[in-house]
Every structure is written in C-alpha cells, then in structure tokens.
Structure 1
Amino acid sequence: MKIQKPHAVLVASPGMGHLIPVLELGKRFVSQHDFQVTVFAASTEASTVQSHLQNSPEYTNNNLFKVVSLPSVDTSASVDTDATVATKIIVMMHESLPALRSAISAMKPRPTAMIVDLFGTEAMAMADEFGMLKYMFIASNAWFLAAMIYAPALDEKGLDEHANQKLPMKIPGCTAVRFDDTLEPFLNANDPMFQGFLLACMAMSTADGILVNTWEDLEPKTLAAFRDTKLLGRVAKAPVYPIGPLARPVGPVGPPVLRSHVLDWLDTKPTESVIYVSFGSGGSLSAKQMIELAWGLELSQQRFVWVVRPPIENDVSESYLTVGKDSNGVHDYLPEGFLSRTHCIGLVIPMWAPQAEILGHPSVGGFLSHCGWNSTLESIVNGVPMIGWPLFAEQKMNATLLTEEIGVAVRCNPAAADGMLVGREEIKTMVRRVTVEKQGHAMRSRVKEAKCSAEKALSRGGSSYNSLTHVVEECETGLQGLIAKSHGS
C-alpha cells in the first residue's frame, strides 16, 4: 500500500519578492521533510520560475515538487492605470481565485495544508472549505510582521497620532515605527488600500500559524514579543514560526554569456573591493537621480558593478510588475562620457544580473541596495555589508533595522524615499565608508557574524530548522485527520 505523503499547497503573488521565497520554502519542505509541494504562481512570468529553478536542477523533474502558473488575468477594467502596485497585486490575486479553486478541487487526494503570502489571504477560505490547515507566509522580517499584526489594534487616536501628528507608532515589546519609516497604508486611514491592508492583517488571526522569513538571532527582541502574552503575544492569535533565511542560492542562473562576463570581470579584482549596485527586480530611479548616482560612483574612485534600469517618471515602484522589459541602451540616460571614464573601475549591466552569484563572489565588498528583504537576505548570507537606499513598501523599515538594530548597513538620507535627490557627494561618502573606511570594516565583521548565525539557524537542530519541523508535525497530524475522516465517510 502506497503511503500518502503530506501535501502542501503554496500560493505566491506576482513579483520576484514574493515568488522567490515561496519557491525556496517549497524546496525546503521537499528536501528536509519529504513533503509533496505544489506552488501556484499568480504570475505571467513562467520563464522566471523556470530560470530560478535552474539553480536547483534536482527540483525541475522532482515528482514531489510542482510549479503551476495560474492563467494570467486581465485587470484593466478593475484597476486604474495609476493605481499602486499593492492595489494591482490585490486585484490580480482576487481575479485568480476561480482558477486556484478549480485546481485545488481537482486534487486527489486533498492537500493537507495551504500556505499563502500576504496578498493571498482571500484564498484562506478555500482551506476551510476543503478541510486543509492554513498558514500565512510573510516573506519579510518579524518587525514588519509586528506592524501588520498590531495594525488592527490601533484605535482612531493611535492612527491620528501616527499619520497626522507624525508620532512614532508604538508596538508592544518592539521597536516603534517612526513616521518617516512607516508603511504607505498607514498614511491615510480613509484610503481603500488601508482597509484592504487591515483585512489582510486581521486574516492572520484566523491562520493556524504564521511563517516569517527571519531567524531567532537576527530579531530576538521582536520574536520574543510574539511569544509574550503580556506584550505583542496578546494581539497575535496565531503562533509565529521564524523559518528563515529563505534566500536565492548561488548557482548557474541566467544567460551563460552574461554570467561569464560579470564573474570573469570580478575574478580580476581584489578581495572585497567592488560595490554591487542594484535596486531589485522592479526598483527604478528618476533620470536626475541616476545622473547623481553615476557621478557619486565615479567620484568615489571605487570599483563597482551597476545594474542599470531605464529611469522612471513618477512612481519608483512603477516597473515592479514589468520585469524584463528591454531598454534602448544605457547611453541614453547616463552622464556623457561616464562609461569611457569608468571602464577601468566599473561595469555597467543593463536590466539584469545574476545577483546571488555576484554577492557570493569574494571580490564584492558592499551592496548598494533598495533594501528589499530578498536582496537583504542574499547580502547577509554572503557576508556583504550594505548601503541602504529604500524606495517603497516596507523597505524603509528594513533599512532602519539593518542600520540601527543589526548594524550591517549605512543609509542614505531618509528623504530620498520621498523623492528628494541623494547628491553625488553623499553617494561618494557612503561608498567609501563601506569599502575603505573603519566603519565599513566593523559592518563587515557584524554581517559575517549574522551569516554564521543564519547558517546555524538552518542547520539540523537550529532554531529555523526546528520551527519548520513544528509546522511539518502539525501537517502530519492534519494528514492523519484527513485519512481518518475519509475512512469514516
């Protein structure tokens, strides 16, 4: 008789920031716990999924691991063209629900558990309908999760103090969130986006557990608050499981010619001498800001690899859902003569680069980043200190966490996230601070300690390994319940 394995269904929202950690979580369920996993990717970028899985060929033809791309949906009639990225993703996920429901209802035997990310909370009703355990997966850190969990508990006075009086938002047992670092939904309690945000936050309390992409040694204070019933634990109804870091592994990813060119160039450079500059798969800068960044890199006289995307007109997140669109060439929006003047010390790459491989290269000694949590974890697990340049979403909170709590980054003027230019002199100073000054050496030491603590957390018997094991045990118990129920019927 064939033994039935627990089967976890993972639902990923559009965008690399959601998709990559969900894929990595699925891979860990399979490799460490012999689960069957189906990932439903609400994304039109099927090629992106396959490209990422090339990193791990053992999963491409693994009958325990399956990726299903949900059909693309037309949201043009439901969403204004100038709507926020969050609004667009919410509508895309909503429109994908019928296809998801149809796919799950056809699964025999029924999956044991459903795991959804932040934008997939509507799908949790299906888990109840089909008798599955339901979990939320937060692909970011525990501090961001704390802000989300506490949001529904804020009264009108608390919201007014934070949004209008610009006072810090106090979270029991956690670091307060400064107004300058706050999440966009908090800025207007009357905005429909805020109401949607609250609904997602309240849905957390109905989950059987919340998985978060961090680990005990990285955020001990916040994670302790979740367990303290006198602090944040009195608000967080579902148990919180830190199971990170889930980060993209170093491997043979992307076009071979480009990969060889970048890494061959890095092979010729001294250890920890190169700054890697990238604003993620969807982050962009204005034309004026790109000019200042180019001049700052040139004035720093430090080696660099810069992934350049075309400048944007208004919203810094406007390219988040259009990853992969080509450009007309970097000559059109960099200072005249920049490429010729910096060809000995710098390498400019249009649109895309193998980030995990670059950060894992011994020649890279710093990362100028938008502070997306994926990129942050990739930097930490490779022992690379950062220059924080947040653009949108929770990236400002991430930058504060990295600079003030963990001490592995410096940060540009916080006003940059609100459209103020970061000048070339400030950029030059930050680059040199990370690469050649004493402060950079101290950050490098701390980030290497964080790297070691991450490796320990993920190893057998480590804190994150044990957290995921606890979830697995719950799923196995749930599977026995499903089998008993089916025999009884």
Structure 2
Amino acid sequence: MELQKPTHVALLSSPGLGHLIPTIELGKRFVLNHNFKVTVLAVTSQTSRAETQILNSALTPSLCNVINIPSPDLTGLIHQNDRMLTRLCVMMRQALPTIKSILSEITPRPSALIVDIFGTEAIPIGRKLNIPNYVYVASQAWFLSLLVYSPILDEKIEGEYVDQKEALKIPGCNPVRPEDVVDQMLDRNDREYKEYLGVGKGIPQSDGILVNTWEELQRKDLEALREGGLLSEALNMNIPVYAVGPLVREPELETSSVTKSLLTWLDEQPSESVVYVSFGSGGTMSYEQMTELAWGLELSEWRFVWVVRAPMEGTADAAFFTTGSDGVDEVAKYLPEGFVSRTRKVGLLVPEWAQQVTILKHRSIGGFLSHCGWGSTLESVTNGIPLIAWPLYAEQRMNATLLAEELGLAVRTTVLPTKKVVRREEIARMVREVLQGDENVKSNGIRERVKEVQRSAVNALSEGGSSYVALSHVAKTIQG
C-alpha cells in the first residue's frame, strides 16, 4: 500500500524578525500538528545578524525547508528618504520573479501559498499556478481592520488623518484616534502611504486570512471582519478569517555565553523583581531619550536588563535594516557618566540583541518595557509579564492603546515617545507601578489581568481550543 504523501505548503516571509519569526512558527504548527511539509521562502535583508540566527536555529531547518531569497538590488528603485514599508514593498516586488520560479519548480507543487502582508503581490502568481492563497497577518485584528478599511477611509476623508478632530470610524470595530494611526498614514503625500493602501487592497484578494491573535482576546474585531460582519459587508469581503495565535517562539535550546551569564545573574534575583527593557530589532531613540531612560531606570531603584544600542537621530525604526555590531563598552559612552558603575549590582546591559523568549520566561522578570511590536507583546503576555508600553513605529501605537486601554495589560507613557522625550521621573514611576505589587498595582489589576490572558492563550492553542480548531480547519481546507 502506497503511503500518502504529506500536504505541502509554501510560506512567504518579508525581511525583518517581526515577519520572519511568526511565519516560521506558523510553519512549525503545520508540521507538528498536521504533518504537513512546509517550505519557507524567506526574503532577507542580508544585514541582520538576528535574521541569520533565526534561520539557522536548531528547530527551523529540521522542521521547515527554508529557501533564502537574498534581497534584490534596489539601486534606482528607492530613494534615501524612503521609509521602511516602502523598502519592504519594493524589495518583495523585485523578488517576485524569483518567487515565481521557486513555486513553479519545487516538488511536490504546494497545495497552498501563505504570504505575509507585504507579499500580497505574489497572490496572482499563486492563482496562475492554481495554488490557493492565504494571507498571514502577524499582528492583531484591530490593526488588520484599519489596514483593509484604509482604502475606503482614503476616499471618505479629506486632509491628513492626524489633523482630524474625531476618531476614525471602522464598521463594527473600535474607532482609531488620529494620533494612534499607523506610521504609513501620517503623510498622505508620501510614497509609503500609496504602498500601504496597496497592501490594504491586496489582502481581501486572497482565499482567506490567518491572524496571529485568538478568539477570546479580540472577538469583536474578528466578528466584524468575517462574513456577515459590518466591516466585511462594507468591504464586500467574503473570505474566511481565522484567529490562529498566539504563535510565539520557544526558548532557544542553545544559549550564547552572554545569555548564559545573564541567566546566571537572573537566577540570583528575587522573583518578579527585574524589568526587561528592549525596543525590538529595529527600534532606536535619541541621545537625550537614552539618557532619560538610563536615569529613569536608576531612579526606580529596581533591577533591570536593558538591550541597548547606540542612539540614532531621525526615525524610530532607523535600525531596521542595519547589522548592529556595537559592544557594551561602545554603547556605554552614550550613557550618563558613572551609570554603569553605579548600577553594576542591579542592572545588566546587553548589546544590540538578546534571546528574548528565554529571558521573558525567567521567574525573576516582573515587567517588560517594550516598543509594543506584536511579536514581543505576545511573548510577554504568554509568559504572564505586564508591559510598559513605549510605542515607536508601524502599528505600535494601536497596540499600546489596545494593551493599556482595552485589555488592561500595560501602563503607558503620558506623551508619545516619538513626539516628546519621556522624562526620567515618569519612567521611574512606570517601572515601580508594574513591579512593586503595592496598592497601585492592585488597584489597576494589571498583573492579575495578564495572568488571566496568559491562561486564555494557553487554552486557545491547546487541543480543542479556539486557535487549534481554527488552524485545523485551515489544514483540512488546504488538504481538500
């Protein structure tokens, strides 16, 4: 009797850890839960050490076949001032011939192509090859609602979104305050805005949408997006929407010498006594803000682990396409005089990048000062860690509002960090509020709420849970 060959699925990821990691984690779920064969087509930036580490990590090549597509030559196609989303869209567009060639030649022919939001221009390639197409949104459902509704907002609203007096209404969803719109909506004359609208128009052209959230966390937005929902009807979008998250990394099995020494230090600290500070793989801040953050951590009188990189003036995502190679000694020269020596016993500085999931799972971590990238957010809440929301770019302001105002999982700054400098006194106050466990924390219930959401996330992914069932339905549909 001939054994049935496993169903083959191709996943397409754009550059950046926020896209690559969720794509690989989705692929692993198809392999482990449904015995699929998975090929990941990873368009990489060729400048990120972290990308290389993820692609070469122990579990990735053993579970998923990874085809690395080096970044195409963008000479003459982008300008020096073009922002991140423009670069990503142009990069993915230029990679289309390579993507088409791979999809045509790999065997067995994939039964489905699942692209991230920057890969929607590959959907026609899938159609020509008779391959069903899905879009995997590695962020949350409220952001997806704004993204797919933006082409209609573009027709309805005159002037800049940030100048509007009222919140932007999305059928069936919470409105979006003008100050919370994604970066790409800040300047309607910028090339990036046109690329963003193209992404919003491309997603409904797929055969279905997978979202890295779960039913119990964002039921309202998910129902609005689905057939019969107010947003779906406004868009005439009658395709299934599956909540399949939270898909997050497992801790690395092998740890670097830096991580091993860090974990040894964490082992010596009391439970939930350390704030972890990291702004993702691309987040940067000014010299003035870096100084205030250092003073704020010191003034809080709480322990900290800070993933630190040299300050960069300009856009908050300035490090997105850079390699990053500064050591602690190099970065320390930007910190207040004597800071390193004064905080030596209570704080650790980690240069550029850290094994974040391993750190967040440690019992001594009690809070996460985060840029609110959705991947980092999920890694935090699935470990029961409350957040200090410090949004920098992309959809992070929406994430911060969702976390602090709707879900009650975070405290946030009174000023937007991209608009004004957050002062040391406020930083110290937020750290104390999250870590202290005194009457302030009890009154806002943040730690208790985060533990509830953690349990909800575990249940969603467990056999019979909402996300497990949703991904099983996707798998059955792909198998035909």
TM-score by structure 2 length?
Answer: 0.94
What SS does structure 1 have at the residue aligned with 2:292? helix
SS of residue matched to 1:415: coil
Where does 1:330-409 land on structure 2 (aligned, <5 Å)? 330-409=331-410
Amino acid at match of 1:51: Q
Native 8 Å contact 1:158 1:169 kept in 2: no
Matched position secondary structure for 1:78: coil
Q: CA deviation at 1:415?
A: 2.5
Structure-2 separation of matches of 1:196 and 1:449: 38
Q: Return the letter of the residue paired with 1:10.
A: L
Aligned: 1:298 with 2:272:
no
Report the CA distance shift for 1:74/1:55 in structure 2 as closer, same or farther (over 3 A): closer
- Counterpart of 1:260 in structure 2 is 260
Code of the aligned partner of 2:476: E
- In structure 2, stretches of 5+ residues that fail to align are none
Secondary structure of 2:157's aligned partner: helix
Describe the shift of the 1:72–1:191 C-alpha distance in structure 2 as closer, same or farther (beyond 3 A): closer
**C-alpha contact (below 8 Å) 2:162/2:179 kept by paired residues:** no
Question: Are 1:452 and 2:455 counterparts?
Answer: yes
Amino acid of the structure 1 residue aligned with 2:473: H
CA distance in 2, matches of 1:34, 1:324: 37
Partner of 1:480: none
Deviation at 1:161, TM superposition (A): 7.5
> How large is the RMSD of aligned CA atoms in angstroms?
1.8
Q: Distance in 1 between matches of 2:292 and 2:52?
A: 36
| Residue in structure 2 matched with residue 162 of structure 1 by the alignment | 161
2:199 is the alignment partner of 1:203: no
Tell me, what secondary structure is at the counterpart of 1:116?
strand
- What is the rounded CA distance, in whole Å, between the counterparts of 1:45 and 1:2 in structure 2? 43
Provide the secondary structure at the position in 2 that maps to 1:211.
strand
Mean Cα deviation higher: 440-449 or 240-249 = 440-449
Q: Deviations over 1:94-145 (max 9, x none)?
A: 1111111111111233111101111111111110011000000100000000
Measure the CA separation in 2 of the matches of 1:383 and 1:37.
31
Deviation track 1:392-420 (CA, whole Å, cap 9, x = no partner) reads 000000000000111010001343222x1
Alignment of 1:406-425 (within 5 A): 406-418=407-419, 420-425=420-425
Separation in 2, partners of 1:379, 1:279: 13
1:160 positional shift: 3.7
**What is the alpha-carbon distance in structure 1 between the residues aligned to residue 142 and residue 426 of structure 2?**
28
Runs (5+) with no aligned partner, structure 1:
478-489
TM-fit CA distance, 1:48: 4.0
CA distance in 2, matches of 1:366, 1:55: 27
Aligned to 2:54: 52
- Aligned partner of 2:270 in structure 1 is 270
Alpha-carbon offset, residue 474 of structure 1: 1.0
Change (3 A) 1:237 1:198: farther
Compared CA separation, residues 324 and 27, structure 1 to 2 (3 A) = farther
User: For residues 149 and 360 of structure 1, what CA distance do their matches in structure 2 show?
Assistant: 35
Deviations 1:50-89 (Å, cap 9, x if unpaired)? 63366653x5334xx2011003322132111221011111
**CA distance, structure 1, for counterparts of residue 293 and residue 51 of structure 2:** 31
Matched, 1:69 2:68: yes
Deviation at 1:193, TM superposition (A): 2.0
Distance 1:82 1:455, change over 3 A: same
**Separation in structure 1 between the aligned mates of residue 158 and residue 16 of structure 2, nearest angstrom:** 30
Matching of residue 237 in structure 1 with residue 238 in structure 2: yes
TM-fit CA distance, 1:49:
5.1
Q: Decide whether the 8 Å contact of 2:184 with 2:394 is kept in 1.
A: no
One-letter identity of the residue aligned with 2:279: F
Q: 1:231 to 1:253 in 2, by over 3 A?
A: farther
Report if the CA contact (8 A) 2:227-2:238 is conserved: no
CA distance in 1, matches of 2:371, 2:144: 19
Q: 1:481 matched to which residue of 2?
A: none
Work out the number of aligned pairs and report it.
472
What code does the residue aligned with 2:338 have?
G
| 1:345 to 1:12, Cα distance in 2 relative to 1, 3 A | same
What secondary structure is seen at the aligned counterpart in 1 of 2:95?
helix
Identity %: 47
Aligned to 2:95: 96
Letter in 2 for 1:260: K
How far the C-alpha of 1:154 sits from its partner, in A, is 2.2
Structure 1 residues 86 and 325: CA distance shift in structure 2, 3 A: farther
When structure 1 is superposed on structure 2, of 313-322 and 222-231 the one drifting more is: 222-231
C-alpha separation between the residues in 2 aligned to 1:346 and 1:103? 48
Q: Check the 8 A contact 2:160/2:187 in 1, yes or no.
A: no
| Contact kept? 1:51, 1:254, Cα under 8 Å | no
Report the counterpart of residue 482 of structure 1 in structure 2: none
Shift of 1:41: 0.6
Task: Write the deviation string for residues 305-348 of structure 1: whole angstroms up to 9, x where unpaired.
Answer: 11101100211111011144335612210000001111111111
Q: Which residue of structure 1 aligns with residue 25 of structure 2? A: 24
Q: Which amino acid in the other structure matches residue 109 of structure 2?
A: R
Which residue identity lines up with residue 73 of structure 1 in the other structure?
P
Indicate how the Cα distance of structure 1 residues 159 and 376 shifts in structure 2: closer, same or farther if over 3 A, else same. farther
Aligned counterpart, 2:129: 130
Q: What's the CA shift string for 1:447-481, capped at 9, x where partnerless?
A: 1111110000001111001111111111001xxxx
Shift in Å, 1:9: 0.6
Q: 1:330 to 1:47 in 2, by over 3 A?
A: closer
**Equivalence for 2:178:** 179
Find the counterpart in structure 2 of residue 484 from structure 1.
none
Residue range with higher mean Cα deviation, 323-332 or 12-21: 323-332
Q: Helix, strand or coil: the match of 1:88?
A: helix
CA distance 1:203–1:31, shift in 2 (3 Å)? same
